[in-house]
Structure 1
Amino acid sequence: MSNSVLWHGVYPALLTPFTQNEEIDFDMFKKNLKVQIEAGVSGVILAGTLGEASTLTAEEKFDLLKAALSTVPEGFPVILNIAEQATKVAVEIAVKAKELGATGLMLLPPMRYKAADEEVVAYFTTVASATDLPILIYNNPVDYGIKVTLDMFAELEKYPTIQAVKESTRDLTNVTRMINRFGDRFKILGGVDTISLETQLVGAVGSVAGLVDAFPAETVAIYKLAQVGRLEEALKIYRWFMPLLELDIHPKLVQYIKLAATAEGLSNEYVRAPRLTLVGEERERILKIIEDARATRPTLPDYKNL
């Protein structure tokens, strides 16, 4: 089994930039990826919610994986998200991801079916048994309708490939419950931008971030400062960041974060239908939040050497 993912630090849920005719813009994808690496992220996650997984074909996800692997330094973790309806298809993607060189997988519960607890556990464990890639379970009952409970994690505990959880329940006490029950068996990564610092302070060892797609240095700086106890400095950046972080918890988070990344030269605004690009008052309102933040950007300490 691979131990090449430490599950510590910041893991961007990367955007999938598109051209105007809805083809993947690989040049922009690689540009953003390189900036993330330069900022000091610990790995990247492809084809998640922010990556518009719901409108990508399996082949396109593999193309993104190949593009990322051809861009990152050797050994840099590249995680492919799996969000499928059928267990068989999820297994096929996991096997193919391993063949192509993925470092790990993020795994959502079954899509488009409100599975019972035992069905979700069976889905996860079937995929985990089919690959030796390390797996990050995405626990997001707010957006996906299924909560992975502590009792379900007790079933998953037996599978060594299931190593971490993206904690997106939005219930900070759940982090403490997980640690009280399982110790450090599951590495906990915060999954909600607006409580990312709080999640870290109660025991998360990293985060899967959204606004990092536009502001990687600030995201990593907050994590690193908090890690070494320089909380006052972390809080100052975090408070500046909060109006932007709130863009991550809206149904149009893809459009909002793409607009922010576009302002930073790291994406374009194009999305794939049924999503539509922002227009009119909404676009102007979101753009003002972005521009106000860019105009008051804090000076960062030398966070890479903390």
Structure 2
Amino acid sequence: MSIQWQGVFPAVTTKLRSDFSFDAEATQQGIDRLINDGVAGVVMMGMVGENAQLAPSEKLDVLRAAKEVVAGRVPIISGLAETNTERAMAYAKEAEGLGINGLMVFPGLTYKSDEHETISFYKSVANASGLEILLYNNPRGYGVDLTPDVVERLLEAPTITAIKEESYDTTRVTDLLSRFSDRLNVVCGVDDLILESAALGVVAWVSGMANALPRPSVELLKLAVAGDLINARKLYAALTPLFHLDTVVKLVQHIKLAENIIAGSAETVKPPRLNLEGAEREKTIAIVNKAVSDLKTLGY
């Protein structure tokens, strides 16, 4: 299945049991809910999916579970987050063998590579399989910035078709679209910059909080892409306090708690992450409940 980079692609949370083991059934239920609410694809094991905390065997179990429940309805993109090039290439081959449609490739973890090393890493991963690649540009999180000049070199690899732009600099969106619009799909990777990004021409969004509220998120992007900014702003205003929680260190905990409140799934996270407690947890609950109330007022 070729990936059409249009619409909302939730960075799916990996559901866990109380003993921190992978809960395939709950994860599949979550994926099914997302697809039924109109998402365009699913991104398994991004940062939100706790990729770095999962054992190699667990990662493959997650992909198998996703493949089973998706059943060809939407593309499946797997996060690829490894500490060295050899393991990254091996994972790309394994994902391809399982029939996954694409990879969202993190820079090499734990090491801040320079431009030459970064280009070599991504090209090596691209050459390891025939899967489409979504570059993951998150310089705040990983210390590596895929600037337009670096991207130009990376686009020598034909399977690199998209970039998840998470530099928090909206001028980067314009620079990338102006320079590579006929070759590269620019995907918003920041929940509380989606309306701004869509106004600049972005039509795809990898979202964390769409796990909790998929249908309003899908509608927001549709309104923005259609140019209905009056209604998009109203919906965005209701969602933005919740979207802000996607941009902080504990985003996984906030997203899973929001899912728990709205959809009933477990909020368990894999240590060293710990569930939210006390005032921090109560604040998130209040934000979620306010967003739900405001959405009801708007008819959602």
Partner of 1:178: 176
Q: Deviation at 1:34?
A: 0.8
AA aligned to 2:146 is: V
Q: Deviation at 1:75?
A: 4.9
Q: Deviation at 1:158?
A: 1.4
Provide the C-alpha distance between the structure 2 equivalents of 1:285 and 1:294, rounded to a whole number of angstroms.
14
Q: 2:121 aligns with which of 104, 120, 123?
A: 123
Provide the C-alpha distance between the structure 2 equivalents of 1:127 and 1:32, rounded to a whole number of angstroms.
29
Provide the C-alpha distance between the structure 1 equivalents of 2:264 and 2:95, rounded to a whole number of angstroms.
26
- 5+ residue gaps, structure 1, are none
Partner of 2:112: 114
Partner of 1:103: 101
SS at match of 1:267: coil
Provide the C-alpha distance between the structure 1 equivalents of 2:230 and 2:10, rounded to a whole number of angstroms.
24
Provide the C-alpha distance between the structure 2 equivalents of 1:192 and 1:125, rounded to a whole number of angstroms.
25
Q: 1:39 to 1:278 in 2, by over 3 A?
A: same
Partner of 1:253: 251
- What do the CA deviations read for 1:175-219 (whole angstroms, capped 9, x no partner)? 111122222311011000010111111021210001001000010
The residue correspondences of 1:243-282 to structure 2 (distance < 5 A) are 243-282=241-280
Please tell me whether residue 53 in structure 1 is matched to residue 51 in structure 2.
Answer: yes
The residue correspondences of 1:57-68 to structure 2 (distance < 5 A) are 57-68=55-66
- What do the CA deviations read for 1:239-298 (whole angstroms, capped 9, x no partner)? 000110011011111111110000012521111111111111111111111112222224
The alignment of Structure 1 onto Structure 2 pairs a total of residues equal to 300
Provide the C-alpha distance between the structure 1 equivalents of 2:288 and 2:15, rounded to a whole number of angstroms.
19
TM-score (norm 1): 0.95
Provide the C-alpha distance between the structure 1 equivalents of 2:294 and 2:137, rounded to a whole number of angstroms.
34
Partner of 2:34: 36
Answer whether contact 2:10 2:208 (CA < 8 A) is retained: yes
SS at match of 1:164: strand
Q: 1:220 aligns with which of 214, 218, 221?
A: 218
Partner of 2:150: 152
Provide the C-alpha distance between the structure 1 equivalents of 2:133 and 2:278, rounded to a whole number of angstroms.
41
Provide the C-alpha distance between the structure 1 equivalents of 2:211 and 2:187, rounded to a whole number of angstroms.
17
SS at match of 1:41: coil
Q: 1:82 aligns with which of 80, 83, 87?
A: 80
AA aligned to 2:7 is: G
SS at match of 2:70: coil
Provide the C-alpha distance between the structure 2 equivalents of 1:300 and 1:50, rounded to a whole number of angstroms.
28
Provide the C-alpha distance between the structure 1 equivalents of 2:8 and 2:221, rounded to a whole number of angstroms.
7
Provide the C-alpha distance between the structure 2 equivalents of 1:288 and 1:59, rounded to a whole number of angstroms.
37
Q: 1:299 to 1:44 in 2, by over 3 A?
A: farther
RMSD: 1.4
SS at match of 1:70: helix
SS at match of 1:122: helix
Provide the C-alpha distance between the structure 2 equivalents of 1:109 and 1:278, rounded to a whole number of angstroms.
28
Partner of 1:233: 231
Provide the C-alpha distance between the structure 2 equivalents of 1:266 and 1:223, rounded to a whole number of angstroms.
25
Answer whether contact 2:12 2:211 (CA < 8 A) is retained: yes
Partner of 1:93: 91
Provide the C-alpha distance between the structure 2 equivalents of 1:28 and 1:145, rounded to a whole number of angstroms.
33
Provide the C-alpha distance between the structure 1 equivalents of 2:170 and 2:19, rounded to a whole number of angstroms.
41
Provide the C-alpha distance between the structure 1 equivalents of 2:201 and 2:138, rounded to a whole number of angstroms.
18
Answer whether contact 2:203 2:221 (CA < 8 A) is retained: no
Q: Deviation at 1:147?
A: 0.2
Determine what percentage of the aligned residue pairs are the same residue: 39
Answer whether contact 2:131 2:159 (CA < 8 A) is retained: yes
Partner of 1:73: 71
Partner of 1:21: 19
Q: 1:73 to 1:230 in 2, by over 3 A?
A: farther
